[in-house]
Amino acid sequence: MLEFENKVVLITGGSSGLGRAMAMAFAQRGACVAIAARREERGRTVVREIEGRGGKAMFVPCDVAIGEEVERLVAETVMRFGRLDVAINNAAETNQTLRLTAEYTEVEFDRAVAVNLKGVWLCMKAEIIQMLRQNPQGGVILNTSSVNGLGGIPRAALYAATKAGVLGLTKSAALEYAANGIRVNALVLGAFDTEMRQQILERIAGGDARKREQLRAGEQGRIPLGRMGMPEEAAEAATWLCSNAASYITGVSFIVDGGLTAFAR
């Protein structure tokens, strides 16, 4: 029997990068996968990939910063597949502005918080309500955070602050809903080789290809394993945390970073 056969998995930010890898991994293990993202064509492409491999998937366009859209996302997922067993809250602001703390504008602050923190809370709210009302009750929620949320990072204070906030939400909800059969954990990721990561390096390098490669090499040099992670490796950690093999784990910040922060833990 496939690990997630007859299970329903919802993944926000599922149209590319880490989210896409997670969607493919859960589908490969038998899950019915609902993918949510703002980029509709890319999201539907992932659905076609899953269906082409014999899996079951659907796409729902959604901006997680808007409560009504999140409620519709969960409702459509349940309407199509019957319930909600696993929710991966992975959507994040992709157009991150790199500035010193005092240089950010209120607009930039509000957008970072709206997507990276409020968006996770809105998703958790709708997912928990569904998991409480369904029969049998319960489920698993996994929130994507970052090693930047464990401390600070120069020129990315808003990102660090919102990812730290995700850890607070995760642990609080884990304590509140454990008795209802809902496990809530955070996947704390380091540097992964994704399109979003490449865009960040490109912005820092200012379009200079040589500088971009130097930045990449420097970043990899700080990782004990000597390389960035692959999205599929994050997906393996996610599927394990959401499986019955991790049934006694809730409220944890599960760090997957190639050893990057081991010195400080």
Residues annotated catalytic, as ranges: 159
Q: Left, alpha or beta for 119 (phi > 0: left; psi -120 to 50: alpha)?
A: alpha
Quick count: other Cβ atoms within 10 Å of Cβ 264? Answer: 8
DSSP-derived letter for residue 264 is G
Coil, strand or helix at 36:
strand
Torsion of CA 171, 241, 93, 73, to 10 degrees: -90
Quick count: other Cβ atoms within 10 Å of Cβ 36? Answer: 31
Structure tokens at 229: 């992670």
Quick count: other Cβ atoms within 10 Å of Cβ 249? Answer: 14
Q: How far apart are CA 23 and CA 27, in angstroms?
A: 6
CA within 13 Å, CB half, 39: 15
Q: How far apart are CA 57 and CA 45, in angstroms?
A: 11
CA 213 to chain centre: 26
**Contact present, 91 and 69 (Cβ < 8 Å):** no
Quick count: other Cβ atoms within 10 Å of Cβ 222? Answer: 12
